[in-house]
A and B are shown apart, each in its own frame.
Chain A
Amino acid sequence: MRTCKANVVVVALASLCCIGAASAVEPGERLADPALEARARGLSTELRCLVCQNQSIDDSNAPLARDLRMLVRERLTAGDSDKDVRAFVVARYGDFVLLKPPFNLNTLLLWLTPLLVLGGIAALIVPKMRRSSVRSSNQESQPLTAEEEAQLERLLRLQTSTETPKTKL
Chain B
Amino acid sequence: MIIEIGHFALLLATLIALVQTVLPAVGAWKNSSPMMATATPAALLQLTLITISFCALTHAYLTSDFSVENVWANSHSAKPWLYKLSGVWGNHEGSMLLWVLILASFGAAVALFGDNLPTTFRARVLSVQASIALAFLLFIVFTSNPFLRLDPAAPEGRGLNPILQDPALAFHPPFLYAGYVGFSMAFSFAVAALLEGRIDAAWARWVRPWTLAAWMTLTLGIAMGSWWAYYELGWGGWWFWDPVENASFMPWLAGTALLHSASVMEKREALKVWTILLAILTFSLSLMGTFLVRSGVLTSVHAFAVDPKRGSVILVIMTIFVGGALALYALRASKLKIGGLFQPISREGALVLNNILLTTATATVFVGTLYPLLLEAIDKDAKISVGPPYFNMTFVPLMIPLLIAIPVGALLPWKRGDLTGALQRLTWAAIASVVVILGAFALTRRGPWLAPLAIGVGAWVIFGAIADWLTRVRAFEVKPDEVLRRARNLPRAAYGSILAHAGVGLMTIGITATTAWQTEIIKAMKPGETLAVAGYDITFRGVAPRRGANYQETVGAFKVDRHGSPVLELETAKRLYDMPRQATTEAGIYASLAGDLYLVLGDELQDGGYAIRAYFNPLVRFIWLGAVLMSLGGLLSLSDRRLRVGAPGRASARSPAPAE
Give the residues from 175 to 231 in chain B that come closer than 8 angstroms, CB to CB, to chain A: 176, 222, 225, 228-229
Q: When each residue 6-39 of chain A gets 1 if its CB lies under 8 Å from chain B and 0 otherwise, what string results?
A: 1111111111100111111111101000000000
Query: CA of A161 to CA of B274 in the docked complex: distance in angstroms?
Result: 35
**Count of residues in B whose CB is under 8 Å from the partner chain:** 105
Q: Check B229–A24 contact: CB distance below 8 A.
A: no
Give the residues from 93 to 141 in chain A that come closer than 8 angstroms, CB to CB, to chain B: 94-101, 106-107, 109-110, 113-114, 117-118, 121-122, 125-126, 128-130, 132-133, 135-136, 139-140
Q: Check A130–B233 contact: CB distance below 8 A.
A: no
Point out the residues of chain B lying under 8 angstroms from A83, CB to CB.
none
Point out the residues of chain A lying under 8 angstroms from B74, CB to CB.
3
A160 nearest CB across to chain B (Å): 8
A140 touching B384 in the complex, CB below 8 Å, given contacts A6-B90, A22-B601: no
Among B16-24, B336-344, B429-437, which stretch is in contact with chain A? B336-344
Among B53-61, B243-251, B456-464, B532-540, which stretch is in contact with chain A? B243-251
Point out the residues of chain B lying under 8 angstroms from A164, CB to CB.
655
Give the nearest-CB partner of B394 in chain A. Answer: A114
Q: Check A106–B655 contact: CB distance below 8 A.
A: no
Give the residues from 286 to 320 in chain B that come closer than 8 angstroms, CB to CB, to chain A: 290, 293-294, 298-299, 301-305
Give the nearest-CB partner of B201 in chain A. Answer: A155
Contact-size category for A: 35 or more
Q: Check A7–B386 contact: CB distance below 8 A.
A: no
A51 nearest CB across to chain B (Å): 8
Q: When each residue 474-490 of chain B gets 1 if its CB lies under 8 Å from chain A and 0 otherwise, what string results?
A: 00000000000000110
Give the nearest-CB partner of B234 in chain A. Answer: A22
Does B27 interact with chain A (Cβ within 8 Å)?
no
Query: CA of A57 to CA of B522 in the docked complex: distance in angstroms?
Result: 16
Does B139 interact with chain A (Cβ within 8 Å)?
no
Q: When each residue 96-132 of chain B gets 1 if its CB lies under 8 Å from chain A and 0 otherwise, what string results?
A: 0000000000000000000000000000000000000
Which of B95, B229, B385 interacts with A48 by CB under 8 Å? B385
Point out the residues of chain B lying under 8 angstroms from A129, CB to CB.
342, 344, 349, 352
Give the nearest-CB partner of B352 in chain A. Answer: A125
A5 touching B92 in the complex, CB below 8 Å, given contacts A21-B233, A101-B390: yes
Which of B237, B241, B389 interacts with A46 by CB under 8 Å? B389
Point out the residues of chain B lying under 8 angstroms from A23, CB to CB.
602-603, 611
| 10 A-B contact pairs sorted by A residue (CB < 8 Å) | A7-B176, A9-B248, A11-B304, A12-B243, A19-B582, A19-B584, A21-B235, A53-B242, A107-B371, A135-B341
* Additional A-B contact list (11), CB under 8 Å, known A10-B163, A51-B301, A169-B491: A3-B91, A3-B158, A6-B305, A10-B244, A23-B602, A26-B602, A53-B299, A56-B387, A100-B387, A121-B359, A169-B489
Closest 7 A/B residue pairs (Cβ): A99-B387, A100-B389, A162-B651, A22-B234, A20-B585, A5-B92, A159-B653
Residues of B within 8 A of A (CB): 73-74, 89-92, 95, 158-159, 161, 163-164, 169, 172-173, 176, 222, 225, 228-229, 232-235, 237, 240-245, 247-248, 270, 274, 290, 293-294, 298-299, 301-305, 338, 341-344, 349, 352, 355-357, 359-360, 363-364, 367-368, 371, 375, 379, 382-390, 393-394, 397-398, 488-489, 491-492, 522-524, 574, 580, 582-585, 587, 600-603, 605, 611, 613, 641, 651-656
